[in-house]
């Protein structure tokens, strides 16, 4: 329970009056005073011991305030897809509360797949309200590490492979979370691109790659989003751990970007007192977190920024300038959140939040393939629908690492489809395969028993027999939240589907020509049967409303409008990191692919993807006409506008994402064929046309010159491409930089 301001503050003020008949007004307690004045006033009143105390944890998820001064504790919570259930003071296990269930929102890969800034704002608003209601001050999320390899177990928590898309989507999320008086803690800064050996890897890359690919989303979150906190990563960079890294934290984050918030360590990410003092860390969490049962040697006061730091100050080894800066940043965080008297009350598991989860999920679903108009399922025919696959019934909100949740409710794909079909058809189920039967994580137990002792042959035979009798087959497969799939602290072993799913899918396609494969995952998977299956849907991890979101797309209540935020390669070797770079090892990991990540690699090297970045079909069709630029030339610091008329040429309402790419035709340095530099989602009724206008600023033409340490563009010819996907360009326009 947090200290209540009124009683403690009153006692503090009375003590001041007793000692001084004309006390100085306690500005730090005035919620209407400017934050900077409150910070400086509080800092001036604190002892060195109190400053040390507020820069490290006192429990798993909290740090102390200053009881003597009535300054509140700071409480963190895991996100970024929902508010984690409360745990014991010193353990990861649930505390057994009955009021900490939440709404699970779609994983951030699904949010990125909406390509809709308004959806991101709704997401941030909704999850921020839940965090506020639960009296959490810092939401540990969102994550914006770049999707470098489809094997990274934590990709589902991030926003895809493109720095521009991730940057555009993170800003509204951060802004709306913080309107609730809850700090967003953007993570994991930086270069957290693999989970295997995550404490022992050191990415090796040049500054151009760092600034063009791996930093833009973090910079946008700080500079445009105004994020109040940021979390360091586990890995090394340039010989130092990312959680106390002079280059990343001091030079880039705080000096170049002007970050005035607090840098929070990832749990267990702090390793050295001296580095933590000087290299930019402000608030230490998770070091030897069990502070009660293991005694003083591992207690919170023994954290690197606790007694060891205080001892260095007392013995004159270090000064207090760095301590004041850390305390100042933590106080600023406290006054913006825990002691923000003007923040709203928030709400928990409201109808509005459930609706938001469903709506975002529907927008994120991507229709990858739809031959012969297999989808949507025509309910007017009273169809018999065979649903196959463990992922049709498995709860996906439990597991996966720190993003695991305790939800008030979770709608499975099977239940969602049964609800959507209603009396208009019949939905039957066959297991098809047995994958991960674990149903609990950190004390959260899913109310289902997934054990099934039947053999692979028996399961496939049952599914095939059912498929023969039905009009449609909907196979829910993919990955899950178990180790070595989509899960923190482990990576996948390969691109292939697990649990003999390929064999099952091929068997289903052999007996029914209306097979729909729904891939539940946060990662790309190999699809060797792609030509045999007429309809393929990317279903993601969609949270509490997963079943309803997917079902509404499958039966046509919603026309799909999601677009892939990363490339699906045909083979793992087609991915740049696995072709010329290094991945998954311990120690130095060389990013030899440089800036050619994702579609940049595929297009520059002319390697056809399975499904391209930005790809996503609809139940209607869209035509692009009359593309134009406001000017055929641009100068340094200038901007032009690209315009195109988009027409819904089909007979259903729908939404299209117009994507703008820039290519440098005369570059003297390596440049990708094209790079995403703008997008706009537009909703159109059947037959309706709209003029879409997208800004092209000078900055969109630039690359990072690592020798000059500056962004610049070379004069000459550029191409502006407008299209529906990176491999589906509908119009090209010449532009000259003069």
Question: Which CATH number does 353-566 carry?
Answer: 3.40.50.1700
In angstroms, rounded to a whole number, what is the distance separating the alpha carbons of residues 337 and 504? 51
The CATH architecture that domain 622-737 belongs to is Sandwich (2.60)
| pLDDT band for position 3 (cuts 50, 70, 90) | very low
The pLDDT of residue 18: 46
What tokens appear for 78 in the block?
Answer: 């895991």
Percent of the chain with pLDDT over 90: 92
Q: At residue 447, does pLDDT exceed 50?
A: yes
Q: In Å, what is the CA distance from 221 to each residue of 121, 209, 245, 255, 391? A: 13, 19, 19, 15, 34
Question: Where are the alpha helices (H) located in 191-250, listed in sequence order?
Answer: 207-209, 216-223
Domain with CATH 2.60.40.10 in the chain: 622-737
What tokens appear for 502 in the block?
Answer: 């390929």
| pLDDT band for position 292 (cuts 50, 70, 90) | low
3-state secondary structure of 46: coil
The pLDDT of residue 13: 47
pLDDT, mean of residues 72-79: 96
Q: At residue 22, does pLDDT exceed 70?
A: no
The pLDDT of residue 5: 45
Full 3-state SS string of 111-172: HHHCCCHHHHHHHHHHHHHHHHHCCCCEEECCECCCCCCCCCCCHHHCCCCCHHHHHHHHHH
In angstroms, rounded to a whole number, what is the distance separating the alpha carbons of residues 126 and 349? 10
Among candidate residues 84, 403, 399, 138, the one with its CA nearest the CA of residue 265? 138
DSSP letter assigned to residue 426: E
The pLDDT of residue 304: 95
What tokens appear for 86 in the block?
Answer: 């409360």
Query: Contacts from 578-582 at CB under 8 Å and sequence distance 24+?
Result: 578/149, 581/148
CB-side exposure of 597: number of CA atoms within 13 Å? 26
pLDDT, mean of residues 526-553: 98
The pLDDT of residue 8: 47
3-state secondary structure of 724: strand
Of 25-29, 435-439, 730-734, which range is least confident?
A: 25-29
What tokens appear for 189 in the block?
Answer: 């800064």
Token look-up 């990662």 returns 523
| pLDDT band for position 16 (cuts 50, 70, 90) | very low
| pLDDT band for position 12 (cuts 50, 70, 90) | low
In this structure, what are the phi and psi dihedrals at residue 277, rounded to the nearest 5 degrees? -65, -50
Among candidate residues 528, 535, 468, 531, the one with its CA nearest the CA of residue 501? 528
In angstroms, rounded to a whole number, what is the distance separating the alpha carbons of residues 615 and 301? 52
DSSP letter assigned to residue 387: E
Q: Would you say the C-alpha torsion 25, 26, 28, 30 has a positive or negative sign?
A: negative
The pLDDT of residue 406: 96
Angle between helices 163-178 and 117-133 (to 10 degrees): 40
pLDDT, mean of residues 40-68: 97
Q: How many CB atoms lie within 10 A of CB 294?
A: 13
Q: At residue 23, does pLDDT exceed 80?
A: no
The pLDDT of residue 387: 98
| pLDDT band for position 288 (cuts 50, 70, 90) | confident
Question: Where are the alpha helices (H) located in 337-455, listed in sequence order?
Answer: 351-364, 413-421
Kindly report, residue by residue over 674-690, the tens digit of the pLDDT: 999 999 999 999 999 99
The pLDDT of residue 299: 84
Percent of the chain with pLDDT over 70: 95
Kindly report, residue by residue over 591-620, the tens digit of the pLDDT: 999 999 999 999 999 999 999 999 999 999
Kindly report, residue by residue over 332-368, the tens digit of the pLDDT: 999 999 999 999 999 999 999 999 999 999 999 999 9
CA-based R_g, the chain, Å? 26
Of residues 9 and 715, which shows the higher confidence score?
715
In angstroms, rounded to a whole number, what is the distance separating the alpha carbons of residues 109 and 365? 10
Q: Would you say the C-alpha torsion 295, 299, 304, 309 has a positive or negative sign?
A: negative
In angstroms, rounded to a whole number, what is the distance separating the alpha carbons of residues 57 and 426? 55
Kindly report, residue by residue over 615-669, the tens digit of the pLDDT: 999 999 999 999 999 999 999 999 999 999 999 999 999 999 999 999 999 999 9
Q: In Å, what is the CA distance from 611 to each residue of 314, 592, 598, 620? A: 61, 24, 11, 19
Q: What is the mean pLDDT of the chain?
A: 95
Q: At residue 156, does pLDDT exceed 80?
A: yes
Domain with CATH 3.20.20.300 in the chain: 5-336
Whether the bond between 420 and the residue before it is cis, its omega within 30 degrees of 0, is no
Q: At residue 21, does pLDDT exceed 90?
A: no
- Classified by CATH at the fold level, domain 5-336 comes out as TIM Barrel (3.20.20)
The pLDDT of residue 11: 52
Domain with CATH 3.40.50.1700 in the chain: 353-566
Q: Identify the H or E element spanning 542.
A: none
The pLDDT of residue 389: 98
Full 3-state SS string of 680-708: EEEEECCCCEEEEEEEEEHHHHCEEECCC
pLDDT, mean of residues 188-206: 97
Kindly report, residue by residue over 110-155, the tens digit of the pLDDT: 999 999 999 999 999 999 999 999 999 999 999 999 999 999 999 9
Q: Work out whether strand 183-189 and strand 229-232 pair parallel, antiparallel, or are unpaired.
A: parallel
Start-to-end CA span in the chain (Å): 62
Q: Which residues are catalytic?
A: 266
């Amino acid at each position: 329970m947090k200290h209540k301001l009124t009683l403690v503050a009153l006692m503090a003020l009375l003590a001041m009056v007793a000692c001084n008949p004309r006390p100085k007004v306690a500005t730090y307690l005035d919620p209407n005073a400017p934050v900077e004045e409150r910070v400086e006033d509080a800092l001036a009143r604190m002892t060195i011991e109190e400053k040390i105390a507020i820069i490290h944890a006192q429990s798993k998820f909290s740090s102390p305030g200053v009881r003597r001064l009535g300054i509140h504790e700071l409480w963190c919570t895991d996100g970024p897809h929902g508010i984690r259930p409360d745990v014991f003071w010193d353990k990861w296990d649930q505390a057994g509360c009955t009021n900490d269930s939440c709404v699970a929102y779609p994983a951030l890969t699904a949010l990125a797949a909406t390509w809709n800034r308004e959806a991101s704002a709704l997401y941030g608003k909704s999850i921020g309200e839940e965090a506020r209601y639960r009296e959490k001050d810092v939401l540990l999320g969102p994550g914006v590490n770049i999707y470098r390899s489809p094997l990274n177990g934590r990709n589902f928590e991030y926003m895809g492979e493109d720095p521009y898309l991730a940057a555009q989507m993170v800003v509204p999320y951060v802004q709306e979370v913080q309107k609730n008086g809850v700090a967003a803690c953007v993570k994991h800064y930086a270069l957290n691109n693999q989970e295997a050996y995550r404490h022992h890897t050191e990415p090796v890359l040049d500054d151009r790659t760092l600034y063009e690919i791996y930093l833009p989303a973090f910079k946008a979150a700080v500079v445009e989003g105004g994020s109040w906190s940021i979390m360091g990563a586990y890995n090394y960079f340039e010989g130092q751990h990312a959680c106390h890294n002079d280059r990343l934290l001091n030079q880039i984050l705080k000096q170049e970007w002007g970050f005035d918030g607090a840098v929070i360590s990832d749990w267990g990410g702090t390793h050295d007192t001296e580095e933590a003092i000087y290299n930019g860390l402000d608030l230490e969490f998770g070091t030897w977190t069990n502070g009660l049962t293991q005694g003083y040697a591992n207690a919170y006061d023994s954290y690197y920024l606790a007694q060891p730091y205080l001892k260095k100050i007392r013995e004159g080894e270090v000064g207090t300038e760095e301590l004041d800066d850390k305390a100042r940043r933590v106080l600023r965080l406290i006054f913006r959140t825990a002691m923000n008297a003007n923040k709203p009350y928030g709400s928990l598991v409201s109808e509005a939040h459930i609706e938001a989860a469903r709506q975002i999920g529907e927008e994120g679903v991507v229709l990858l393939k739809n031959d012969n108009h297999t989808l949507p399922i025509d309910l007017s025919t009273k169809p018999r629908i065979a649903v196959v696959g463990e992922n049709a019934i498995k709860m996906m909100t439990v597991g996966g690492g720190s993003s695991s949740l305790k939800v008030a409710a979770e709608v499975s794909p099977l239940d969602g489809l049964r609800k959507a079909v209603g009396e208009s058809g019949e939905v039957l189920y066959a297991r098809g395969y047995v994958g991960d039967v674990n149903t609990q994580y950190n004390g959260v137990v899913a109310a289902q028993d997934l054990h099934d002792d039947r053999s692979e042959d028996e399961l496939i035979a049952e599914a095939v027999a059912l498929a023969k009798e039905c009009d449609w087959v909907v196979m829910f497969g993919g990955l899950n939240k178990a180790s070595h799939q989509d899960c923190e602290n482990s990576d996948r072993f390969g691109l292939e589907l697990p649990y003999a799913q390929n064999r099952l899918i091929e068997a289903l396609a052999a007996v029914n020509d209306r097979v729909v494969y729904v891939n539940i995952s946060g990662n790309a998977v190999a699809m060797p049967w792609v030509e045999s299956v007429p309809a393929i849907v990317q279903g993601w991890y969609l949270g509490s409303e997963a079943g309803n979101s997917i079902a509404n797309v499958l039966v046509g209540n919603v026309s799909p409008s999601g677009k892939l935020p990363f490339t699906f390669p045909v083979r793992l070797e087609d991915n740049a990191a696995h072709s010329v770079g290094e991945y998954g090892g311990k120690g130095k990991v060389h990013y030899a692919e440089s800036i050619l990540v994702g579609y940049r690699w595929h297009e520059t090297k002319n390697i056809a993807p399975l499904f391209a970045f930005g790809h996503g079909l609809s139940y209607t069709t869209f035509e692009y006409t009359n593309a134009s630029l406001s000017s055929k030339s641009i100068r340094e610091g200038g901007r032009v506008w690209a315009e195109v008329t988009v027409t819904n040429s089909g007979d259903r309402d729908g939404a299209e994402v117009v994507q703008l790419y820039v290519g440098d035709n005369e570059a003297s340095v390596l440049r990708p064929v094209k790079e995403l530099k703008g997008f706009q989602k537009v909703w159109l009724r059947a037959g309706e046309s709209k003029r879409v206008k997208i800004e092209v600023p000078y900055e969109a033409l630039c690359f990072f010159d690592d020798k000059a340490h500056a962004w610049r563009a070379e004069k000459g010819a550029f191409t502006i491409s407008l299209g529906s996907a990176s491999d589906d360009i509908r119009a090209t326009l010449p532009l000259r930089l003069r």
